[in-house]
Amino acid sequence: MTNIFDERIKKNLQRVPVWERKTLGNRFDDFVKTNSTSDYIVTKERVFSYRETGKMINLAAKGLIKIGINNREHVGQIMANYPEAVFTKFAAAKIGAVNVPFNYRMLAEEMRYVLHQSDSVCLVTMDEWGAINYIDILKQICPELLRGLPSSEFPLLRNIVVFSPKNKKYEGTIDFYDLIQMGRDTNDEELARIQSQVNYPDEVVDILYTSGTTGKPKGVMLTHDMLWRKSYSSLLGRAIEEGRRVLMSLPLYHVFGLVEGVLAMPWVNGAIVLQQAWDPETALELIQSCNATDILCVPTMGLDLLNVPNINRYDLDSLKAMYCAGAPAPLSLWERLIEELGLEYLNTGYGMTETTSAPIQSPYYATAQQIATRVGVLIPGGAAGVREYGGKCVEYKTIDPFTGKDLPPGSVGEWACRGNVVTTGYYKKPLETSEVLDKDGWLRSGDLGIIHEDGFLEISGRSKELYRIGGENVSPKEIEEVISKNPKVNQAYVVGVPDERMGEVGMAFIELKRGEECAVGEIIDFCKNKLARFKIPKYVMFISAEDLPITGTGKIQKFKLQEIGKRHLGI
């Protein structure tokens, strides 16, 4: 008997019988026509229909034309989840420019690096976010521009557009809504003319910088067609229904929120409910007041929701789904999310910025146990898929992490993939590109795992995190799982550090549960009967959660842990 999820997938397959390659601007124009009066952007303060959103996008696009932004030029963006971020993203695409969203948690040196490396000619930025004042940072790194003069350090940068929620004005910049007014003074025919000249779906439209868990951020180049194919295939993977309303607390500089929210919802006449900064109580209020039916989050955010005192005081009847990914989580968390939030469908997934978000996701029939131990299956591609890849948008295989040679099916090794949603490389980084992409388009993921016979994929660690003790390969994840079972331990991370005799040895960074005390010897003894001798960490360092180095998306930066370890050991 066909269930509700099969029916949704069938309907989504029927939406697109034949794939048409289109730019972001052209396809969104189609959605404005078909979804005209439906809600698209929902915030606590106001709602934008598809028609209203389309109008704001066109005004922003005409404003960018007015200030001289040209085809293929790069527009940097430092914006939290405001409607203006969505307007800017599509506006740049409409005129053939490339959108470059920055991590808005970055400070001066990080901003200097990305602004320079990305070749941005225009920066659209908030004036402040939390304790960060971007105007002060810009005064520090490019003071000439704020005085109306060219910048010697950033010769390509011509314009700074500032969005101020408090309506502040800044010398040497263009106010965002003055840019919109410029758009009103530019005729529609000029926009239509330019849009018709930049109709190339295979050109790069977004450069998204990776979180940098292994070093400086790299700009991943994604095309119009990649983004639309991946967002459409997510309708099939997640069995998304007509009119879904997804709470967007994840930042739009991350491919997760961009693809699974902003670009997926228009296919089903759906809406994105924007939250500017993560706060679990505010998220519950938004679910209640905006009738959100879905939420995109990482496991720590899911746990935050469950830990809100008196959660039962919120009406969460509208919430039916949750897409929770980005990090592993124990079975108990998945079970609690399903039971306590009353979810019909909880899924996790696996992907990278380089694969245009997650081509691997939990199917609706996955059990809580499978969600906890597997990252999902390859999602269908429908009309967006390719016959050579079994109708999917991507194919995966397992390779030896050291030699790069293919391994037999069922082997544990590094995952590699290729497909029509896989990036062609990193912007202006040919060496780094050549290290992960081969001549046949296979991308090395850096992740270790196994592809099971039933189609589910299980991740076991990062190949770049592997270290060698006397010629033996060691996977930190295995050791972390053992240490985490100690009742005193809240979380544990293991890295390899240099050792004169063994080449490398393990160093464990451990956060204890509140109120607990533990000696190094206790950890070593705890590991002795559970791990081979060479896998037991030689060093143990206790660390607070606040001191753990994390990316803007909550991932542990293990290369920084290695740096901390080396300094601690005087290496």
In whole angstroms, how far apart are CA 454 and each of 369, 376, 410, 419, 457? Answer: 15, 11, 10, 21, 9
pLDDT grade for 213, boundaries at 50, 70 and 90: very low
> Are 297 and 189 part of one and the same domain?
no
In a domain, 207, yes or no: no
Q: Could you say which of 430, 462, 494 is where a domain stops?
A: 462
465-494 pLDDT, tens digit each? 778 786 566 778 889 989 999 999 999 999
More confident residue, 110 or 342: 342
74-116 pLDDT, tens digit each? 999 999 999 999 999 999 999 999 999 998 888 888 899 999 9
Contact between 247 and 286 under an 8 Å Cβ cutoff? The reply is yes
Q: What is the pLDDT of residue 466?
A: 75
Q: What is the pLDDT of residue 178?
A: 98
In a domain, 212, yes or no: no
Relative to beta strand 219-223, strand 204-209 is antiparallel
Q: Percentage helix, strand, coil, to 5, in the chain?
A: 35, 25, 40
- Kindly report the CA angle at 457 between 455 and 460, in degrees rounded to 5? 155
Q: What is the pLDDT of residue 1?
A: 45
In a domain, 193, yes or no: yes
Domain of 395: which CATH number? 3.40.50.12780
Q: What is the pLDDT of residue 214?
A: 47
Contact between 436 and 444 under an 8 Å Cβ cutoff? The reply is yes
Q: What is the pLDDT of residue 11?
A: 97
Q: Could you say which of 412, 436, 462 is where a domain stops?
A: 462
In a domain, 7, yes or no: no
Give the SS3 label for residue 113.
Answer: helix
Q: Could you say which of 403, 434, 462 is where a domain stops?
A: 462
What percent of the chain has pLDDT above 70? 97
Structure tokens at 539: 């060093």
The half-sphere exposure of 86 on its side-chain side, counting CA atoms within 13 A, is 30
Number of domains within the chain: 3
> Are 555 and 425 part of one and the same domain?
no
d(CA 153, CA 115): 10
> Are 443 and 521 part of one and the same domain?
no
d(CA 447, CA 327): 13
d(CA 354, CA 98): 17
In a domain, 17, yes or no: no
pLDDT grade for 326, boundaries at 50, 70 and 90: confident
Contact between 368 and 334 under an 8 Å Cβ cutoff? The reply is yes
> Are 123 and 229 part of one and the same domain?
no
Q: With both helix axes pointing from N to C terminus, report the angle between 50-66 and 188-197 in degrees, rounded to the nearest 10.
A: 80
Mean pLDDT of the chain: 93
β-bridge partners, 159: 122
Q: What is the pLDDT of residue 473?
A: 66
Domain that holds residue 196: 22-200
In a domain, 208, yes or no: no
pLDDT at 327 over 80: no
> Are 31 and 120 part of one and the same domain?
yes
In a domain, 190, yes or no: yes
d(CA 352, CA 102): 17
Burial 354-367 (b: 16+ CB within 10 A, else e): bbbbbbbbbbbebe
253-309 pLDDT, tens digit each? 999 999 999 999 999 999 999 999 999 999 999 999 999 999 999 888 898 899 999
Domain of 148: which CATH number? 3.40.50.980
> Are 317 and 430 part of one and the same domain?
yes
In a domain, 217, yes or no: no
388-414 pLDDT, tens digit each? 999 999 999 999 988 899 999 999 999
Q: Enter the DSSP assignment of 383.
A: G
> Are 108 and 243 part of one and the same domain?
no
pLDDT grade for 462, boundaries at 50, 70 and 90: low
> Are 453 and 479 part of one and the same domain?
no
Contact between 116 and 428 under an 8 Å Cβ cutoff? The reply is no
Mean per-residue pLDDT, 346-374 = 95
Specify the pTM: 0.85
d(CA 507, CA 497): 7
> Are 196 and 232 part of one and the same domain?
no
> Are 480 and 453 part of one and the same domain?
no
> Are 445 and 517 part of one and the same domain?
no
Q: What is the pLDDT of residue 460?
A: 80
pLDDT grade for 328, boundaries at 50, 70 and 90: confident
> Are 229 and 378 part of one and the same domain?
yes
The half-sphere exposure of 490 on its side-chain side, counting CA atoms within 13 A, is 12
Considering only CA atoms, which of 556, 566, 354 is closest in space to residue 465?
556
pLDDT at 200 over 50: yes
pLDDT at 554 over 80: no
For the chain, the distance separating the N- and C-terminal CA atoms, rounded to the nearest angstrom, is: 64
